Amino acid sequence: MESTGQIARCRLLILDDEELFRQAAALFADIARKAVDRKGVFYVALSGGSTPKKLYSLLAERYKDSIPWSDTQIFFGDERCVPPDDPESNYRMINEALLSKTDIPTSNIHRMKGEVNPHTAAAEYECELAKAFHLTGDEIPEFDLMLLGMGEEGHTASIFPGSGALFDETRLTVPNYVEKLDSYRLTLTPPVIKNAGHIVVLVTGEKKADALKHALSDAYNPKSYPIQIVRHTKGRVTWMVDPSAAAYIKDTADVCAFC
Ligand code: 6PG
């Protein structure tokens, strides 16, 4: 089933899982090729968790020879504060599902170092961003594609409800203490996320239905639903959700015209 709600610069696609990940992979490849054709480089920030694993596997399976990996710069939207070989590591999941199956140069993979002190790792990542994007002064990197997921309570990247990262408008990457997890995470900040040319939010499963309804329909309240920060992106937003996650979205009238 597919239903689209065309809102200015924003799309809501409700797709069965197989079609959702097929279209997500095709969109990823299209944005990559157009970015490289236009400026010789494709900057992408990948999301972690479990949802995007199917996308990464599909990219490895169907696009490993057609995406310009040598001109692709891979960054991470967030990372758990664990070593790169830890089962919880987003890098480990993404490397196993995708990166290790492509010929992308290792120098193009910019890992958040979950194994070091979070404050040090965040500062180092900001240097990594500045170098790769050739930033000067207080410039903000502009990703061609920012892949995001959404937690059951509406977090995105590692920006959780009420957490400090939500209010950081000056840094590019921060260590974010997450009370409910009693642990630190590393995360890109809202200014970086909102500066992306295209944000794709992948949401599947009935457990996300309540948060998705609030995220798409409620008045702007990112303290409760951090994913709502995408409403203020300067680029495009494509929500790709499955029918289970969209259970409370009866039609596009339920989706406020927030883009
Ligand atoms: C992470 C992610 C996070 C994720 C959501 C959804 O490190 O966990 O970056 O923002 O997108 O938590 O996770 P699932 O896809 O596992 O439901």
For ligand 1, mutation pick of 79, 81, 88, 156 (most atoms within 8 Å of CB): 156
Q: Is residue 222 lining ligand 1, measured as CB closer than 6 Å?
A: no
Pseudo-torsion of CA 246, 247, 250, 251, nearest 10°? 20
**Rounded CA separation 60/226 (Å):** 30
CA of 78, closest atom in ligand 1: 9
Residue 90 Cβ inside 6 Å of ligand 1? The answer reads yes
Residue with CA closest to ligand 1 atom 15: 51
Contacts of 258 (CB under 8 A, 6+ apart): 7, 10, 216, 220, 228, 231
pTM: 0.95
pLDDT digits (tens, 9 = 90+) for 153-185: 999 999 999 999 999 999 999 999 999 999 999
Percentage of the chain beyond pLDDT 70 is: 93
Ligand 1 atom at shortest distance from the alpha carbon of 47: 9
| Contact call for residues 67 and 33 (beta carbons, < 8 A) | yes
Helix or strand (DSSP H, E) at 177: strand 173-178
How far does residue 246's CA lie from ligand 1's centre (Å)?
17
Taking the centre of ligand 1 as the mean of its atom positions, its distance from the CA of residue 257, in whole angstroms, is: 25
Mean pLDDT of the chain: 94
Catalogue the long-range contacts made by 250-253 (C-beta closer than 8 Å, 24 or more residues apart). Answer: 251/3, 251/5, 252/3, 252/4, 252/5, 252/6, 252/7, 252/12
pLDDT in tens, 201-247: 999 999 999 999 999 999 999 999 999 999 999 899 999 999 999 99
Cα 137 to ligand 1 centre (Å):
31
Mean pLDDT value across residues 51-56: 98
Q: Which pLDDT band holds residue 9 (cuts at 50, 70, 90)?
A: confident
Cα 7 to middle of ligand 1, angstroms: 25
* Integer Cα distance of 247 and 229 in angstroms: 22
Atom of ligand 1 nearest to the CA of 77: 9
Give nearest CA residue, ligand 1 atom 12.
151
188 Cα: distance to centroid of ligand 1 (angstroms): 14
Nearest 10 degrees: Cα torsion 67, 229, 79, 152: -100
* Neighbouring residues of 17: CB distance < 8 A, sequence distance ≥ 6: 54, 204, 242
Distance separating alpha carbons of residues 178 and 162, to the nearest angstrom: 9
